[in-house]
Amino acid sequence: MNDVNPLLIIGAVIVSYFLGTFPSALIVAKRGGVDVTAAGSGNPGTSNVVRLLGWKYGLVVFIADVLKGSASVGLAWIVMNTQPDALRVSYLAYACGYAAVIGHTFPVTRKFVGGKGVATGGGVMYVLYPVMSLILCSSWFVLRKITGKSSVASLVITIAVPVYVAIWRNDNMWELAAALGLVGLIIIRHLPNIRRLKSHQENA
């Protein structure tokens, strides 16, 4: 069996990280005349852009952030399938997906201050688990409408990911561990939201 070139693997992970650092919210909000890091919640993500500029601007940010995650998994697929005896795509796919989410949440280009990672993580999951992702994406809008809180909707669908993996992909327990790790990262990024929810101070 021929070994996968480790330089290609490392390169794919590094490129995925920098894909994640692309400042979608900052660029879109600036076009609308707003510094998204200095207004609203200060979070450079879809929810804050929607809060400040409306759904049209927010949708652009959402799509861009999703594409960052999806592109990272696509890059992993390309790299692994250029090898004669490729390892399972999902191993590198998760590594690149993690890198993209970390790049989004902790971008070196912005002093490691980034977004919450929901949309980028969703982009990763969309490629890995498309049916689940379509269901959860639809659920987000329903939950957002019912609760009036973007953070609540994001947390619920995030927690639902490993549940899906545990039920429908239980033959690969490493996938569950990987999904739990990614979900854990996103939940950690939402701890300030959780504290505000407890004190009834969370914005929409």
pLDDT in tens, 125-155: 898 888 888 888 888 888 888 887 777 888 8
Is 174's pLDDT higher than 90? Answer: no
Entry pTM: 0.85
Looking at the chain, the whole-number percentage of residues with pLDDT higher than 70 is: 90
Q: CB of 102 within 8 A of CB of 68?
A: no
Banded pLDDT at 200 (limits 50, 70, 90): low
Q: For position 87, what pLDDT does the model report?
A: 46
Residue-averaged pLDDT of the chain: 85
Is 93's pLDDT higher than 50? Answer: yes
Looking at the chain, the whole-number percentage of residues with pLDDT higher than 90 is: 34
Q: Report residue 185 as tokens.
A: 């990262």
CA–CA separation, 165 and 122 (whole Å) = 14
Query: Residue range 72-85: average pLDDT?
Result: 78
SS3 112: coil
Q: For position 133, what pLDDT does the model report?
A: 87
- Tell me 109's DSSP state: G
